[in-house]
Amino acid sequence: VSTALLTLAVDLGPTGLWWTHLLVMVGIYAVLGLSLNLINGYGGMFSLGHHGLFAIGAYVAASVTNAGLGDVPGPLLFLVSAAAGTLAAAAGGLAIGLPCLRLRGDYLAVATLGFAEIVRILIQNLPKGVFGGSEGLNVPRVLMEVTPDTRGDFRLLWAALVIVVVALTALVVRNVVRSARGRALLAVAQDETAAGLLGIDVTRSKVMAFVLGSAGAGLAGALYAHYQGKLLPGDFEFPVMVSILLVVVLGGLGSITGCIVAALVLRYVEQVLQLQGQDDLPLGAIELPAAVGPWLREWWLVVYALILVLLMIFRPHGLFGSRELPDLLRALRRAPRAKGSAA
């Protein structure tokens, strides 16, 4: 059954295929980072369970797709499954958030990490018919068949889709933070006791941020499921959480553009490193010297962890802090003039 919207059979070539794939991964991590930023950045909480919510979104979207296959038209099924994944993750966030958000920072971190572990064990241990167990779960292609001819179309469609989703997510986060509820959340993040004394419903603010953030993780999971076409429990282990955390920390706790830039930088580095030592790199992928490239590819995870530690020591608020890209550019432009007037 071909459910393709249109078949252009665009030939992107290796360069185009590489860049579109990179863009999709950047988009998924940007959505994950933006949603975690709502919890860990703006909300001042510390969740280590985002990968569990990501998994819930992915597996629920995949299950819904499998269940509705054949009965529902492809694009509709895609939308319904994505909505189901998002809602399921939001419900998961509510289930863990309601009891645990009364806990202070570090307790919350461990409770959410425990929750994500439970999700992973659930996926792995439930009978194979439910989530595929350790053999993985296939996600049928409902937007477009992927054949050698339509690979370019598929990647282009996804790149466009992901850009739209990232833009919408960024918009939602921005509007939430600027709303009255969002300002209440920022106050809670600064000082819970003081915010509570001012009449802000502390628990409600935190639960709202947590559930919204969870929904974002679910949405990213649904995108991931449909793009990858196959889910494995190993895709949702703790290193994924660290990757998301690094996007948020590198970008700045409480910066939207920072998150997107950080996702771009981190995914680019990761994808480029995977190519090191090969011939014919796609255009725009930097080839490191032979002495460094393969070595860095081997030791990347060590270097990665080192970056996280050094970042926390030297710039604990991330590269951007809570500022946005336009603010930074303006500050950079103003800096020389300010120096001149001072002298």
Partner 1 sequence: LLDDFLLNGLGQGAIYAFIALGYTMVYGIIRLINFAHGEVVMVGAYAGYFVLEGSPLTGVPAFLVAILAGGLASGVLAVLIERLAYRPVRRAGRIAALMTAVGVSLLLQNLALRCFGATPRPCPDALGLGAEGNKLLVFGMLVALAPVLRWLVLGTRTGRAMRAVSEDADAARLMGIPTDRVIAATFFLGAVVAGVGGVMLAATYGVVQHDLGFLPGMKAFVAAVIGGIGSIPGALVGGLVLGLLEALLPFFLRSAGWDEAFAWKDAIAFAFLILVLVVRPTGLLGRPERVKV
Residue whose token pair is 């068949």: 145
Q: Which is nearer to partner 1, 117 or 287 (CB)?
A: 117
- Cα distances from 8 to residues 5, 16, 140, 231, 341, in angstroms, run 10, 15, 21, 28, 58
Q: Which is nearer to partner 1, 79 or 242 (CB)?
A: 242
Q: Is 299 in the site for partner 1 (CB under 8 A)?
A: yes
CB distance 61 to 80 below 8 Å? no
Interface pick for partner 1 out of 298, 329, 330, 331 (rule CB under 8 A)? 298
Residue 271 tokens, joined: 């994808």
- Beta pairing, strands 137-138 & 230-231: antiparallel
Site string for partner 1, 216-255 (x = CB under 8 A): ----------------------xx--x--x---x------
Q: Which is nearer to partner 1, 111 or 209 (CB)?
A: 111
Q: Is 309 in the site for partner 1 (CB under 8 A)?
A: yes
Would you give the DSSP letter of residue 133? G
Q: Which is nearer to partner 1, 77 or 202 (CB)?
A: 202
Residues 94 and 13: their CA atoms lie apart, in Å, by 44
Which ranges constitute the DSSP H helices of the chain?
13-36, 50-68, 74-100, 105-125, 128-131, 151-178, 180-190, 192-197, 202-228, 238-251, 256-275, 293-314, 325-342
Q: Is 301 in the site for partner 1 (CB under 8 A)?
A: yes
Q: Give the amino acid at 341.
A: S
Q: Which is nearer to partner 1, 11 or 191 (CB)?
A: 191
Count of residues that interact with partner 1, criterion CB under 8 A: 43
Interface pick for partner 1 out of 4, 122, 176, 288 (rule CB under 8 A)? 122
Among residue numbers 127 through 186, which ones bind partner 1 (CB under 8 A)? none
At residue 137, what are phi and psi to the nearest 5 degrees?
A: -125, 125
Please name the helix (run of DSSP H) or strand (run of DSSP E) that holds residue 230, with its range, or none. Answer: strand 230-231
For the bound state, the minimum distance from the C-beta of residue 96 to partner 1, rounded and expressed in Å, comes to 7
Q: Is 198 in the site for partner 1 (CB under 8 A)?
A: no
Interface pick for partner 1 out of 26, 56, 84, 109 (rule CB under 8 A)? 109
* Site of interaction with partner 1 (CB under 8 A): 40, 44, 46, 48, 96, 99-100, 102-103, 105-107, 109-111, 113-115, 117-118, 121-122, 125, 193-194, 197, 238-239, 242, 245, 249, 298-299, 301-302, 304-306, 308-309, 312-313, 316
